[in-house]
Structures are given as C-alpha cells and as structure tokens.
Structure 1
Amino acid sequence: MDLNQITIESKATVLEALNKLNQIRKVSRLILFVKNQKGKIIGSITDGDIRRSLSLNQDLQKSVEEVCFKGFVHHFENNDFIDLSVYRAQNIKILPVLNNNGTLSRVIDLEITQSTLPLECMIMAGGRGKRLSPLTDTIPKPMLPLGGKPIIEHNIDRLISYGIKKIYISVKYLGEQIESHFGDGSSKGISIEYIWEDEPLGTAGALRLVDKFNSDYVLLMNSDLFTNVNFEEMYLLILKEKADMVVASTEYKVDVPYAVFETKGNKVKAFKEKPSYVYQSNAGVYMLKRSLIDQMTKNEYCDITEVMETLVQDGGKLVYDPILGFWIDIGKPTDYKQAQEFIKHFK
C-alpha cells in the first residue's frame, strides 16, 4: 500500500481531506493519518470526525489538525509478532505502525490481516504430479485452477493474510509457468524468490539452497494443499512449547469392519465390534527452527520426515497442531474434484 494515499498534511483543509478519503481503495475503513511538517503522525481523521466538525460549524476550510483525533491507537515498529487480538478487542479496524520517530512505517488492515508473523516461508512446488495426468502434462500441479485462481495462489494469499512477506518457492517441473505468473511478488506486496532444483531434493532438501533465512523460524508447506490452517496458532505453539518443530496434523480415521480381540496369549480377554480408530496424520505444513536447516547437507536429498525422525531420536522436541478447519491434499483426481466442489461453497 502506498502510504501517501492514507496520509495528509496537518495544514490541509477539511475539504481536501474529504476528497482524499473518497479516493481511498482496497482498505476496509476510510481513514487518513495526519502528519506534521516533520512527517510525524499527530492524529487520525475519518468522515465521522469531519461530520462532527461540520455539525458545529460548516467550515470546510478548517485545517485537519483542528479536526483530527489525537488520541488515535497505534503500535510502534519492532518487526516482531504483534498480538492483533489486543487491538481487535478495542474494535480497531486500521492499525498504524509508527517508527520510533513517530513517522508512519506501515498500516495493518485488521479486516484483511489475520496476524503479523515474523516468518519466512518456503512452498514446495517442484513435483511432477503424475497422478493428476493428463491435467498436469502441460500445467504444473500447483497451477491447476481452483475457484478462479491457481491452487498455489490460495496458499500464497493465506500466507500474506498472516503477515508473511518473504516467500521462497522451490520449483522444477514446468516451474517457468509459476515464475511467470507471480514474478517477484511485488504485485501482491511481497517478495518471492525461486529456488530451482537441478535434481529432486525431497520435501526438505530445497531449504538448504537458500543462502540465509532471516527469521528464527521458517514455515515449510506443500503447494498442493487447500486448507485454512491457522499459522498463528502454530507459531504461538512452537514458542509456548519451546519446540524445535511443529507439524500441522489432520485426523485420519480407520474403520475396522470386524470385531477386534484384546488378547493375552491365546485367550480373548475382551473384544470391540467394528471399532474406529482416529490418528493424527501429517498435513504437509511445518514450522521449524532455522538451526535445523543449518544442520542439513547442501545439495543432498532430504525428506522432512527424515528431519522429524532424527529430531525425535536426538531428543529434540517435535509437537503437532491439529487443523480444526478444512484440509484437502490435492494429489489425485478425486481430491481435485472434491476441492472444486468445496470451493463453490467457500467464502
């Protein structure tokens, strides 16, 4: 967002403020932030502030400095996690984030932004997608359309809504199409970098090809998921548990069509008629400490399950976070059809 669109000089008139408010787009609330000659934000002004001023006198030539609300709620920039629930409880819709000198650093639209996670992310998008052939004979699986945009774009847009601004995409098969579609990410207000795998490196090997991650924790996810996984919940969990890695999980139910015996030797002690068992299974979304990536060998095949297994064997802490919403792994034609039907009812 161009900050000039939502800032106004303190000496500007109320009429000028009205005209500028009418030009604001793609923001959930019409608001301007008033800055003095040094650029310091001294207040906010909405159409409500202007109406209240005009009800007292009909002077459209008043300066916005006289009309603006000087007790506006704001947050000071520290490039760290911001607990937005504190501001939502105050019914704040637009949160200005100020630099230490009081100038405007950025604004957070709480109607659009779920969180502000200090994370970088890698999306794995290099696979061939053979099970979806012939659909994937000329289109990489992550670019298959779903509800009017590619599968991978649903994931990127969700990452953006959680405040993630730096995304790496590991590509190989028809990766040029992905790179052409998203470019450097600037059209979405983020930075995208492409990691090309000369040879398949597994679900974790591409992480080591990044020169340096700048966040303490890194999010890794499959590109062919359609899910409303809560990334903030995962982040808070890994901090709370002081874990090395958290993996999102989904329930997998096994129905046994026969009676199952509980035995001792050859004696049946009890039995359950056609029982069902529910397991937490890997959902393809991981958050891990950057230090785990540093331990991987560059240009060597590595699956994330190997990292998880080694972590557990070495006494590290691996925790899981169940996805409470929806989750579809689009690996087969039936999965793709299910996702296409589901998104018709998705808002």
Structure 2
Amino acid sequence: MNFQKHLISHKATAREALRKLDSEAKGIIAPVLFVHDSDEKIVGSLTDGDIRRGLINKLGIDDLVEDFMFSNFRYFTNNKFPKTEIQAFKARNIRFIPVLDDTNKLIQVLDLQNNRANIPASAVIMAGGRGERLMPLTDGTPKPMLKVGGKPIIEYNIEHLVRHGITDITISIRYLGDQLIEYFGDGSAHQANIKYITEDKPLGTIGALKDIKSFEQETILVMNSDLLTNVDFEQLHEAFLNESADMAVATIPYDVNIPYAVMELEHGNIVKSFKEKPKYTYYSNAGIYLFKQELIKLIPENQKYDATDLMNEVVASGRKLIAEPILSYWLDIGRMEDFYKAQEDIKHLRF
C-alpha cells in the first residue's frame, strides 16, 4: 500500500510539512504526518499543532521537521492492536495510528474514525470458480464481478474487510481472472494492498493458500467471493481469541420446523417423551474462516483441498476448532434465485 500521503522526511522543512498537512486535510480533523529518517524508520509524528508550538518557541518556518516533531508518539506493532487502547485513542479523538514492523518501518496506518474495527489479519478471497449455476450471466463475466446494486459482489467484501482494518488481501483467481486484476489493480483505490494468485487448475475452496508466499499477519481470514454479507468480523475474531482457537468457522443457523409431534424412543419402541411440532436448529458452514497461519503447513501442495478438509485435520490433530454463529445478514449467491434476491436485499442492507 502507498503510505506516502502519511509520510514526511525528517529533513523536510516545516513549510513543506504544512503544505502537505493542508493538502491532506480536506475534511480530516487533526491530520497527522509520520516522520521517517533516511532509513525509512518512523521516528516521530507531526501535526499543525506541533508546528505552531515550535514557532511559539522561536523555531523558524524553514527549520527542519525533526525539530518540530513529537518523538514520544504512539504506535502499534504488527499483530497487536489492543482493543482497550484503540478505544482510549478514540476517546481522545486520535484518528490515525501507525503500525510498525520490528525495524520501526511503517506497514499500516489505522484509521480509527472510518474503520469499524482494526483486526490484525490477512485475508484471502476465493474467486476462481466458474459459476456454472449462474450461466449465462457468467459466460463473459466471472461470478465475483457480477453486479449487485450496481457494484461487483466481491467489491462489497473488500470494502467490508477494509472497514474492519483488514487491508492485506490476496484474491485467488482462475476463470476470467484478468477482469478482477483490471478492476481492482493493486487495491490502492480501496485503501487496501491487493495481490493475486492464479490457480492453474481447481484447488478446492482453500488449496490455493499453499502457493501464497507471505502474509503480513499471523492470522488468516478466508472467505468465498460470492457472499453478500455484513458479518461482524470483529465478533468472529474476538471469539477466536477468547477461545484460544486454532481455527474458527462462521456458521449460519438453519431452522427445521417439524409439523407433527415427535416422539423420543428408548429400548426400541418405548416412548420416553414427545414434543409437539418442535423446531430444531442446525448450524451450516458460512464460507468464512479464521485460523492461525501455521495451519497452512497442513495443506498439500498442488492438490484439491477444501476448507472442510482442513477443519477435519484440525480436529483429528487435537487442535481447537470453534464455530461462531453469524447473527447478521448473509447470502450465498450461488443460484439464479439468490442473485435476484440479492438485487432486492441490497436496497435495504447496511454495512
């Protein structure tokens, strides 16, 4: 991702900094620049308030930024975005927080005002399917690029990920994948860092992850590209952390209503009890997964491998797999009737 709009050299002048702060303000309350040294390491932050204080203390407008900057600035390290600290920053009307790597170089800027959450995860969106059940709509358009409410299905997912602070996104493509690359590019227009991986043959719902060389985060979120949902990713992530899970799968409640009384039997034909017109609730796989990056080593290379295969292996190996119900809107756009339903639902859906 291009962070240049957030950065300024320690050898720039206060005048140059003010010009950049003014150009970046445009409706932003208390814009801030992060000051880097000659090795691109972040050494301070700078606001127009810092410059005003410096001028009051008899610095000149053409003195260097390093004389004005605030050296004791607050930042997060990779994979560690404490929710309590984020809430404290919001209470103090602090909008932008830098995320630094082990060498103090900038890898992300958290927008605490526009983001609903700031989840330390990398995302993979599976977008290689042919979409045969949606033919002829998919004859010349990949299923993720079919438009719902005037926007490609997958674009809602990318925006929703970014809204939760997830900006390191890889899209797995195959059928007509060039259309996705042309539309989204490097992701900068969506405040994301988007990369692509091409499946030479179908690798199942999760097999392509084996070919991804690196992730920015230690937690991976995988989702299908044909979902229309306003799922609370933060709720899923918190359950994952609170349960110390190795993998979490989002689930959809599915109710089955029995129109008759149901008898419970024992010893063959002895009636133990009965329920009048009961309702049973089952939980179905929602196509959204969160897991530790280390689980990728369980995925075989260049073989068809589904998320359910990984789930089975997690359980079989004694690791912890949890299910977290989705309580918000969710629709799998896999059939023509789902596609038409989405066109109506999007008119009322709030993200």
For Structure 1 versus Structure 2, the TM-score category normalised by the shorter chain is 0.7 to 0.9
Output the CA distance in 1 between the equivalents of 2:303 and 2:44. 51
* 1:124–1:221 contact (8 Å) kept in structure 2: yes
Partner of 2:220: 218
Q: What is the CA distance between 1:215 and its match in structure 2?
A: 3.1
The SS at the match of 2:125 is strand
One-letter identity of the residue aligned with 1:296:
I
The alpha-carbon distance between structure 1 residues 269 and 122, as it changes in their structure 2 partners (threshold 3 A), is same
Tell me, yes or no, if structure 1 residue 78 matches structure 2 residue 56: no
**Structure 1 residue 164: Cα displacement:** 2.3
SS at match of 1:301: coil
Which residue is 1:191 aligned to? Answer: 193
Counterpart selection for 1:300 from 299, 303, 313: 303
- 8 Å contact from structure 1 (residues 170, 195) kept in 2: yes
**What's the TM-score, normalizing by structure 1?**
0.80
C-alpha distance in 2 between matches for 1:101 and 1:191: 20
Question: Deviation of residue 34 (structure 1)?
Answer: 8.9
Q: Secondary structure at the match of 2:85?
A: helix
Is residue 122–residue 168 contact of structure 1 (8 Å, CA) maintained in 2? yes
Instruction: Give the structure 2 partner of residue 94 of structure 1.
Output: 95
Task: Describe the SS at the equivalent of 2:319.
Answer: coil
Counterpart of 2:316 in structure 1: which amino acid?
A: Q
After TM superposition, the structure 1 = structure 2 runs for residues 320-331 of structure 1, keeping only pairs within 5 Å, are 320-331=323-334
Secondary structure at the aligned position of 2:345 is classed as helix
CA gap of 1:323–1:254, structure 2 versus 1, over 3 A, is same
Deviations 1:22-63 (A, max 9, x none): 6435764243459799985465347xx99xxxxxxxxxx9x9
Aligned CA-pair RMSD: 3.7
Amino acid at match of 1:272: K
Pick one of 338, 341, 346 that aligns with 2:344.
341
Which runs of 5 or more structure 1 residues have no equivalent in the other structure?
Answer: 51-60
Which of 174, 177, 185 is the aligned partner of 1:172?
Answer: 174
Q: Unmatched 5+ residue regions in structure 2?
A: 53-60
Deviation at 1:88, TM superposition (A): 3.2
Q: Distance in 2 between matches of 1:105 and 1:338?
A: 40
Q: Deviations over 1:75-126 (max 9, x none)?
A: 2241223135534342424133376999987643212123333322211111
**TM (normalized to structure 2)?**
0.79
1:284: which partner in 2? Answer: 287
TM-fit CA distance, 1:202: 0.8
Aligned to 1:202, the other structure's residue is in SS state coil
Q: How does 1:1-347 map to 2 (within 5 A)?
A: 4=5, 12=14, 23-24=23-24, 28-33=28-33, 41=44, 44-45=47-48, 74-89=73-88, 90-97=91-98, 107-264=109-266, 265-347=268-350
Any conservation in 2 of the 1:28–1:109 contact (CA below 8 Å)? Answer: no
Separation of aligned partners in 2, 1:164 and 1:36: 24
Query: How many residue pairs are counted as aligned between the two chains?
Result: 335
With 101-110 and 337-346 compared, the bigger mean Cα shift is at 101-110
Q: Find the residue that maps to 1:261 and give its secondary structure.
A: strand
Distance, in Å, in 2 between the alignment partners of 1:98 and 1:301 is 36
Give the Cα separation in 1 of the matches to 2:310 and 2:13: 59
